[in-house]
Chain A
Amino acid sequence: GAGVSQTPSNKVTEKGKYVELRCDPISGHTALYWYRQSLGQGPEFLIYFQGTGAADDSGLPNDRFFAVRPEGSVSTLKIQRTERGDSAVYLCASSLTPSANTGELFFGEGSRLTVL
């Protein structure tokens, strides 16, 4: 498809387990963002990639969260030792250019993570 693709769409795991969430951005988009959205809240910034490098990871809540984008396209968000508070919808977005001053973010449908 032509849009941002996220897998899995739903993930249920047990507390303490490791999870990986994948994002396949729109082809040619250099900027990639991960956000987390809890029920009744707006998206909360986690990390921003420009190409292969993490340009800003200041939103990652702690060192259990890590993200990579090794070839400047697909990105994987990795969560170690999951906790119940990690339950949320994890949204990925890509942009043709960095978003300042007009760049549109194209979002995927999100990966819903439930930690039991």
Chain B
Amino acid sequence: TQLLEQSPQFLSIQEGENLTVYCNSSSVFSSLQWYRQEPGEGPVLLVTVVTGGEVKKLKRLTFQFGDARKDSSLHITAAQPGDTGLYLCAGDGGSYIPTFGRGTSLIVHP
């Protein structure tokens, strides 16, 4: 079983602050995805990374895939209340079945 550990589990910050959340594993993944989930909704894909060392930017969000393809980070610049949600990473080792981490619950206060 491929386990993904996400940290921190909870994060409560003020609007305008920067933050980084992490997704770590001892397993190598062929691809890794980040999803955001709001209460009462299903997860929604933010980004997919496939190449070791890859960096992708989505407006104020920056995603990085580790060189060894075992870990990833998500950095949010100048967080806004609309960024509030559960951030999930999901890794695929080639089995076609994404394995999800426990998530980081982010609250951004106005």
Selected contact of B30 from candidates A91, A100, A107, CB within 8 Å: A100
Flag if B40 contacts A109 (CB, 8 Å).
yes
Within 8 A of A (CB), among B53-110: 88, 90, 92, 94-103
User: How would you classify the secondary structure of chain B's contact residues: helix, strand, loop or mixed?
Assistant: loop
What 10 A-B pairs have minimum CB-CB distances, sorted nearest first?
A107-B42, A42-B100, A98-B96, A104-B45, A43-B100, A42-B102, A101-B31, A100-B96, A42-B103, A107-B43
Q: How far is the CA of A50 from the CA of B97 in the complex (A)?
A: 11
Closest Cβ–Cβ distance, residue A60 to chain B (whole Å) = 13
Answer whether residue A41 sits at the interface, using C-beta atoms and an 8 A cutoff. yes
**Residues A101 and B102 in contact, CB atoms below 8 Å apart:** no
CB of B24 within 8 Å of the partner chain: no
B89, chain A: closest CB distance, angstroms: 9
Q: CA separation between A23 and B31, bound complex, in Å?
A: 26
How many A-B residue pairs lie within 8 Å, measured between CB atoms? Answer: 71
Residues of B within 8 A of A33 (CB): 97
Sample of 5 A–B contacts (CB below 8 Å): A98-B96, A99-B96, A99-B97, A102-B31, A107-B44
- Give A contacts to B, CB under 8 Å: 4, 31, 33, 35, 40-45, 48, 50, 55-56, 91, 93, 98-102, 104-110
- Please measure, in the bound complex, the distance between the C-alpha atom of A55 and the C-alpha atom of B97, giving whole angstroms: 10
Instruction: Give residues 10-55 of B contacting A (CB, 8 Å).
Output: 30-31, 33, 35, 40-45, 48, 50
Across-interface contacts of B97 in A (CB, < 8 A)? 33, 45, 48, 56, 99
**In the bound complex, how far is the Cα of B40 from the Cα of A109, in angstroms?**
7
Query: Complex Cα distance A109/B41, Å?
Result: 5
- A100-B31, A101-B50 given; name 16 further pairs at CB < 8 Å: A31-B96, A40-B102, A42-B4, A42-B6, A42-B103, A43-B88, A45-B97, A48-B96, A100-B94, A101-B30, A102-B31, A104-B48, A105-B35, A105-B45, A105-B90, A109-B42
- Assembly CA distance A45 to B97 (angstroms): 8
With a CB–CB cut-off of 8 A, which chain A residues contact B41?
A: 107, 109-110
Closest to A110 in B: B42
Closest A residue by C-beta to B44? A107
